[in-house]
Chains A and B, each alone.
Chain A
Amino acid sequence: MLDVAGRTASAPQPGSLLRRPSPGALIRTVVIVVLVLFTLLALPQLLSLYYVDYMTQVAVYAMVALGLGVLVGRVGLMSLGQIAVLSVGAWSAARLLFGTSQPFPLVLVEAGLITMVLGTVLLLPALRLRGLYLALITLMLASAVYVVLLTLNFPNGGHGFTGYNGNQIHIPPIRRPSIATSDPAYFRYAVVVAVLMFALVAIHIRTRPGRAWAAIRQSEPAALAAGINTTLYKLWAVALASFVTGVAGGVLAGAVHYLYSDDFPAYTSITILAVVLMGGAYSLWGAIVAALLMQLLPALLNNWGVSNDWLTILFGIGVVFTLTTAPRGIAEQFPKDMARLGGLLVRLVRRGKPGPAGTPEPVSAPAPAAASEAEAP
């Protein structure tokens, strides 16, 4: 189907969840656990509040990128409307948080489920379309949602279905969970939610749905012939992506306290797609790289007094180059490039060394390939 990768064979290894872990998998698990612990415990202490706020956004957008990664990287559905999905999640969560006194995690799950149902129902008829037309229809739907949102406005403590109070004074902030009212605590909360969402997606990828998605991405007719219910599994992917993005919307609502329709312009979907393609839609790490590109980089640039427009330009160049030269994105390209660079340096050092035997080329030639195997996540 969609060949963003420019090649066909790239199925995730099946069944590795249930098998006894290999040494590589063990190292990977340890790395992930250490990284998560570092993010949870040390990072809020190390960073100023300015960066903690932005890192919360990174956690939110990592979930958004994760959802889009499922669609683009697993099933080959290019969505140009993820910001609309995010805004639906944020809207539902804000409405529930103002309207009810339910605990925060329950609201997150409900926001995810509402978004899931809406996203699935909206895209159900569109699933007959494929490729380009499906991408364009998501762009149209997202633009329509934005127009509705501009009229409807985000709930701000008012009454009625929309919960919008036209009176702009004394707007109560959207509440946070009682255990995470401060910014660093809420950052930790957001990271925990993000880790749960990543785990949810990872489980999907490693079990039956993941294998079905891989089959569909390679060839829908072949998947159909193999007895895979393609409509069911495509819908499943849409539902999962919408759920994850809806939960992200809920976390976003609590993070910013006040939501405005202008925060969700339709073109942000294009930026999201750009960073997901650059980060790499085929690995879960790609989602984190994408979120860092989209949220941490602007924070750094702001700090250095560089205009964010340069970032937009950079993303544009990134999309063009990702599609033409490195279709698998930074998350997979960078370790390979580093391995290649390392191999090159090793060769240079050996050549420069006035050794008696002079190193033969063939010895160092396989090194990059081996290194890339080891370093690739």
Chain B
Amino acid sequence: MPSWQEFQPFIVTGLALGGVYALSGVGLVVLYQATGVVYLAFGAVGATGALIAWSLISVSLPGWLAWLVCIAFSGALTLGYGMVFGPLLARRTPLVKATATLGLLLILYGAMDLLWTTSGGEVRSLTLPTDAHKFSIAGVQITYTQLIGLVIGVVITLATAAFLRSTKLGTAMRAMANDREITATLGVPVRRVEAAAWLGCGVLAGIAGLLLADMVALDATTLTFLVISSLAAALIARLRSVTLTFAAALLVGLVQNLMVPIPSLSNYNNMAPFVLAVLALLALSRRSVIALSREEV
């Protein structure tokens, strides 16, 4: 068993990764609540945005502009998908809606491999300027990017929770989570509320893409399928509670990173999110309920 000293740096990376998982998880939960769509293309959208940012930086555009383009692209693409296919699939089961986003995932994945070919063995990297600035707590080096990862996770979670609770749009979203038809009957502009949710989710996908490209790797496959790890956190919260998603995301990030220094487990550390999600889902569904509910859960 490694000593406490060896664990310390992994607590930092774990919390930072957990923060980004939380950011992604919150985006997924809000979109699912408002529209009933599990957005499996979340990672692919963020990855495409990050690769676009990389291309812009490599033609010596200022960094901040490239990051803005990345976030704007992710937001616009997600909004576009939501506006076109949201209404078309509105009456289908959540399973069909989620599967359709796999189509978007495949399109983006193919396009990324085509435009940013990796066969040459070149390694791309996207480094945020905050990597260079470090400080230390109790002898552990922490970069500002890691701090941003955690802080942004906390901020987004708190902001989203407050937004859902107290604003008019947030109330409308919560109402739609309960029943779309009745909400529409009450005079809520359902399409516009959905558009807001899609846009918000897309913007979060862009931010998460940038941060993960810096923290993990700027690689189409890795980033595209990191959504599965973020989804694990959202699933532990049963795609419902934003705060629970945040807690689960930190747990997933921590467990995943704390397994690294343990020799017998370090090879399996990437399994942590999936195993935690499976266990949570099984524990939460001990009662088998067969109901004729509209929402297929």
Contact = CB atoms under 8 A, between A and B. Distances in A.
3 closest residue pairs by CB, A with B: A312-B110, A316-B106, A316-B107
Interface of A: 1-4, 6, 78, 125-126, 128-133, 135-137, 139-141, 143-144, 147-148, 150-151, 219-221, 224, 265-267, 270-271, 273-274, 277, 307, 309-320, 323-324
Given A3-B92, A324-B88, A319 B103 contact: yes
Given A131-B297, A132-B94, A137 B281 contact: yes
Nearest to A127: B288
Interface stretch (B121-129, B161-169, B200-208, B224-232): B224-232
Contact of B104 (A141, A316, A318): A316
A178 B292 CA distance: 55
A151 B268 contact: yes
Contacts, number: 162
Interface of B: 38, 85, 88-89, 92-96, 98-100, 102-111, 113-114, 221, 224-225, 228, 231-232, 235, 267-268, 270-271, 273-275, 277-278, 281-282, 285-288, 290-292, 296-297
Given A3-B96, A78-B95, A270-B102, 17 more contacts: A125-B282, A128-B285, A129-B285, A132-B296, A133-B281, A147-B268, A147-B274, A221-B290, A270-B106, A273-B102, A309-B110, A310-B114, A312-B110, A312-B113, A316-B107, A320-B100, A324-B85
A310 B110 contact: yes
Contact of A266 (B225, B267, B285): B225
Interface centre among B106, B228, B281 (most CB of A within 10 A): B106
A148 B270 CA distance: 10
Nearest to A327: B96
Nearest to B228: A143
Contacts of B277: 136-137, 140
B225 A140 contact: no
Nearest to B36: A132
Contact of A315 (B96, B106, B108): B106
Given A125-B282, A144-B275, A78 B99 contact: yes
A119 B228 CA distance: 21
Contacts of B275: 140, 144
A224 B268 CA distance: 40
A221 B107 CA distance: 37
Nearest to B276: A140
B38 A132 contact: yes
A140 B98 contact: no
Contacts of B105: 270, 316
Classify the interface of chain A: helix, strand, loop or mixed. Answer: helix
Contacts of A150: 267
A267 B95 contact: no
5 contacts: A128-B287, A140-B274, A219-B292, A320-B107, A323-B96
A124 B87 CA distance: 35
Given A273-B99, A320-B85, A311 B268 contact: no
B42 to A, nearest CB: 13
Contacts of A265: 221
A308 to B, nearest CB: 8
Contacts of B95: 2, 78, 131-132, 135
B231 A136 contact: yes
Contact of B103 (A3, A132, A139, A320): A320
A138 to B, nearest CB: 10
A319 B100 contact: yes
A128 B288 contact: yes
Contact of B100 (A135, A224, A323): A323
B99 A139 contact: no
Contacts of A126: 278, 281-282
Contacts of A128: 282, 285-288
A375 B198 CA distance: 43
B111 A143 contact: no
A314 B103 CA distance: 9
A323 B111 contact: no
A139 to B, nearest CB: 6
A177 B274 CA distance: 38
A140 B104 contact: no
B103 A129 contact: no
Contact of A318 (B103, B232, B285, B291): B103
A323 B95 CA distance: 11
A119 to B, nearest CB: 14
A323 B114 contact: no
A310 B106 CA distance: 10
A201 B95 CA distance: 25
A83 B108 CA distance: 21
Contacts of A220: 290
A313 to B, nearest CB: 4
Contacts of A130: 296-297
A144 B292 contact: no
B38 A136 contact: yes
Contacts of B89: 323-324
B268 A140 contact: no
Nearest to A231: B288
Contacts of B297: 130-133
A132 B106 CA distance: 19
A219 B288 CA distance: 16
